[in-house]
Amino acid sequence: MKTEKEKMLAGELYNPNDKTLLEERHNARLLFRKINQISTNDTKLIISLFRQLFGKTGKGLFIEPPFYCDYGYNIKLGNQVFMNYNCCILDVAEVTIGDRVMFGPNVQIYTATHPLDAKTRNSWLEFAKPISIGNDVWIGGGAIICPGVNIGDRAVIGAGAVVTKNVPNDVLVGGNPAKIVKKIDN
């Protein structure tokens, strides 16, 4: 029989109030709260704590606190990732972010989701779908990336976009729901 964490990581319905999961979310909160309270002059300590929080980090990581997440260990970052203020990543499933990716302020990434049928949803069970963001991507301020979305290399997500479907390489998307605005000549 699978644990609730194993179900969560497999993308199956799971109970988020499981003791182990509650403890892991609590530990992540303690760490990101510490990060969010440190003087921004102490960038070495901030980066060191982010490296403890995340599952994988590359070189050249720079994140402007405040930052929020569920677990941290499901976040995998490439090289030269920049996140501006107030980023929130609900990393119930894996979030993979490539190299040279930039986030504007208030970017939100949600892997967590809920059943559509009310009876199952009212059981308080939930599930998640992984998110993947390619290399050389720019995500504008206030954009929301929804569960299960894959964003291709060199894509640009316009400010305030709500991305509900996969985004191919070399395009600008915007709007709610986000649609391709134009192809980018890279």
The set of catalytic residues is 114
CA–CA separation, 24 and 58 (whole Å):
23
Bridging pattern class, strands 112-113 and 127-128:
antiparallel
The whole-angstrom separation of Cα 3 and Cα 13 is 11
Lookup result for tokens 């009876």: 119
Phi/psi at 31 (5° precision)? -70, -45
Which tokens is 73 given? 């260990």
Residue 154 phi/psi, 5-degree rounding, is 65, 15
**What backbone torsions phi and psi does residue 75 show, to the nearest 5 degrees?**
-100, 125
At 91, list the tokens. 């990393």
Is it true that the peptide bond before 177 is cis, omega within 30 degrees of 0? Answer: yes
